[in-house]
Structure 1
């Protein structure tokens, strides 16, 4: 059970801090006790035999008490987004949970919901009885369901077995040992990836298993870590690090005790230089996906090109193949595919989507690239219309479809323009009615795509199109660059 793995190292140091948040902190001993008491209080959920129990809690500590308690009970869990928006309802529809645990009454398409508020937690964690029964869990039992939306046009469901979670934790801890310079000490890990994804979920579990302190902050609170002088590890996207840099006080000296891992996109050299000059010289880039974990790691180096995402990790098999699935020589561009113990078997109860991206033991993340003679992976594009806006991936065709449904829009197309740091940013070319109101378009788009970053708008007389009828996004980019 991954709850025991997460708490094992902390058991030897129960007074060390396991998790802190803006209003408080909890030791490993307190976390273990709270997990035991909450799992005992929820024991009757086992009689309902749910296929998945979803969790929606804004408070990070209570959220993770529930995650670990459900694991102790042998019940599969899933995390829902903290904000109730289009992403939340989409997650509920995809996960189809039998039971949803909530911190407050929430509208949604739930089969059954259970509100466990602050008073319930305080009561159970203060006087509740700890669970003394050990629930047997087999290696191939599914203990976690997660969402994966970065390698296809639609978000899909991934089922993680006890064996997979344990292996993935070992991978992350070993990767950390061989790729980073920090070692023992008052190490704090700042996770920013959502727990609803397998990547965000596993990063937090691995940090607990390593006995480190998790510092749970919202995006608006990220600046707080820079007033701390103890070693900090932060996993951030290019978009998040741009926001952090914009919040730094003028003249602040770089922090040699801060270690950044950039995930969710390539690291442009301009942004890399800004990080080193303003924040920290300790930067690494990781490439991977929720379906396969981390695939490559690259240490920041001014001598390498922007498209390099690093060396392949030792437990990963990676090939570049042509359209027939045959490996191509070093330096030749093709489709990236990976295999290994970090790759899931497929998408849960979705044979069509599985067949499209999992073939003959290989997972195809949808990226194109090449391996150089030194074994570095270079990413050069996608095999589909997905684009990463600083970490979050979007389907440009789906954005166009939504855009064209907005009242007052006669024609339009989304396209990509690198910002001043070299990070891909969303732009839109519009043909609209004279009385068109731009704020209505913003509301319209974010009803479906709440994570869409701020979009730069240009008005044009006609959208250039290819012979296929698709927007000519390259022409739109060149028009912006030339102007």
Structure 2
């Protein structure tokens, strides 16, 4: 079904670039032909309709050719995570077959097919006109996407063809922020994430180019050489990217930076304006919900914790601790509804019952919704530290710590003290020679308590860059 999008662009601009990196260029004509050849090859595998396949294929062109070729043959795909082993992903997805660049030596209990340049060369023996022999339906599965798993409990979402169609079509409403020309887009979040998937479709629906960063080069080279004008990133990944840029890097005022996966603090927003681009678009959503809000940072009154304005297809309500509706302007737990919200988690009735109720999804986020439909996301329910009856938002404390010279990353969290009562802690990563006194002062001045600090080489985060606070809590408990 979705291979038709590539075929459509191949018909009208065959030499247009569909996928590009610093080392490779692939036209729409090449991609359309290779997808058809891949579908013919996949048909010979005789995989049952609805089979699940895990793709451990990092090369973007091979990944998407294989995705669309298998989709044509009725196979549901999922991308392997760089944070988990292939064996764990196979169990998580319930995959019947593995397609991988590097074939594991150990037996995994499923058929394995190597996907590399030799495989692509071998496809040339197949006809580029294969069209399939079975009608496809909207309820057929297309993609399994693993949620970010901030609690460490990774869950699965099944996106059907109809749901993916709806999200692609409705996302077109927000393309008012996309470049006027065909975009050259890139994401540093990952091809397996929802943001990576939707960026690909956004580029291809507008006859643009999906670009990828090659780690053999620098981000400065990628942005300039590929003439990137649309970038999707998370606050954490943005922070890492900004640190990698040389001091003499010239920011590009035409580059649109879309922020997903968390709130953008004022210091990070100002650094992005100064060093990368002033054109910042804020969004909020989840794998479970699709896009919920969008907005240009300049229209969001400074944008501290702002997530944008509600999209026309999204519904958001704010609840008090008893589950009652809160009036506009009051802080509470968010719930999300709308036709982009999935029905539940795949193979997980318990998780579905916990997070999905009466057509609403409960993301466990805390926020404020104004009468004008502007949403502020202050953090997660778990991020609200109840310290002696006072509610402290972890992200507020983290933003103060991140302003200190020499701090590389930080995370605030609650963990038991010597009496077994929850107490605030701050984990931090820093440069050599860091002076801890200002950090201790922030802790005592803000929380009026003796500092509880934990120095780490790196803060544990998931694929989207979100802090895994439960992991930090467990580290404190284990140390005690």
Could you state the TM-score of these two structures normalised by the residue count of structure 2? 0.79
Q: Are 1:10 and 1:18, in contact at CA under 8 Å, matched by a contact in 2?
A: no
1:198 aligns with 2:194: yes
Matches within 5 A, 1:10-25: 10-25=10-25
Aligned-pair CA distance for 1:421: 8.2
Aligned-pair CA distance for 1:307: 1.5
Aligned-pair CA distance for 1:28: 0.3
1:211 aligns with 2:210: no
Aligned-pair CA distance for 1:93: 2.1
Corresponding residue for 1:258? 255
Pick from 268, 275, 295: which aligns with 2:265? 268
- Distance change (3 Å), C-alpha of 1:342 and 1:418: farther
1:419 aligns with 2:402: yes
Separation in 1, partners of 2:173, 2:11: 21
- Distance change (3 Å), C-alpha of 1:252 and 1:375: same
Corresponding residue for 2:134? 135
Secondary structure of the structure 2 residue equivalent to 1:42: helix
Tell me the matched-pair count: 418
Identify unmatched segments of 5+ residues in structure 2: 386-393, 429-438, 445-450, 452-480
Q: Are 2:78 and 2:192, in contact at CA under 8 Å, matched by a contact in 1?
A: yes
- Can you list the C-alpha shifts for 1:341-373, whole angstroms capped at 9, x where unaligned? 211111012111001111100001110111123
Aligned-pair CA distance for 1:478: 6.2
Secondary structure of the structure 2 residue equivalent to 1:256: coil
Corresponding residue for 1:104? 102
Corresponding residue for 1:169? 168
Pick from 277, 281, 300: which aligns with 2:278? 281
**Which shifted more, 367-376 or 61-70?**
367-376
- Distance change (3 Å), C-alpha of 1:38 and 1:474: closer
- Can you list the C-alpha shifts for 1:78-107, whole angstroms capped at 9, x where unaligned? 1113x4x63544322210200001122124
Q: Are 1:153 and 1:386, in contact at CA under 8 Å, matched by a contact in 2?
A: no
- Distance change (3 Å), C-alpha of 1:322 and 1:209: same
Q: Are 1:18 and 1:214, in contact at CA under 8 Å, matched by a contact in 2?
A: yes
Q: Are 2:72 and 2:132, in contact at CA under 8 Å, matched by a contact in 1?
A: no
Q: Are 1:75 and 1:143, in contact at CA under 8 Å, matched by a contact in 2?
A: yes
Q: Are 2:282 and 2:307, in contact at CA under 8 Å, matched by a contact in 1?
A: yes
Separation in 2, partners of 1:129, 1:188: 30
Separation in 1, partners of 2:320, 2:6: 41
- Can you list the C-alpha shifts for 1:426-461, whole angstroms capped at 9, x where unaligned? 4699xxxxxxxxxxxxxxxxxxxxxxxxxxxxxxxx
1:31 aligns with 2:15: no
Q: Are 1:102 and 1:116, in contact at CA under 8 Å, matched by a contact in 2?
A: yes
Q: Are 2:265 and 2:399, in contact at CA under 8 Å, matched by a contact in 1?
A: no
Q: Are 1:148 and 1:290, in contact at CA under 8 Å, matched by a contact in 2?
A: yes
- Can you list the C-alpha shifts for 1:320-342, whole angstroms capped at 9, x where unaligned? 12234332101111111111121
CA RMSD for the aligned pairs? Answer: 3.0
1:356 aligns with 2:354: yes
- Distance change (3 Å), C-alpha of 1:161 and 1:428: closer
Corresponding residue for 2:71? 71
Separation in 2, partners of 1:147, 1:242: 24
Q: Are 2:185 and 2:199, in contact at CA under 8 Å, matched by a contact in 1?
A: no
Separation in 2, partners of 1:192, 1:298: 20
Corresponding residue for 2:417? 465
Corresponding residue for 2:229? 232
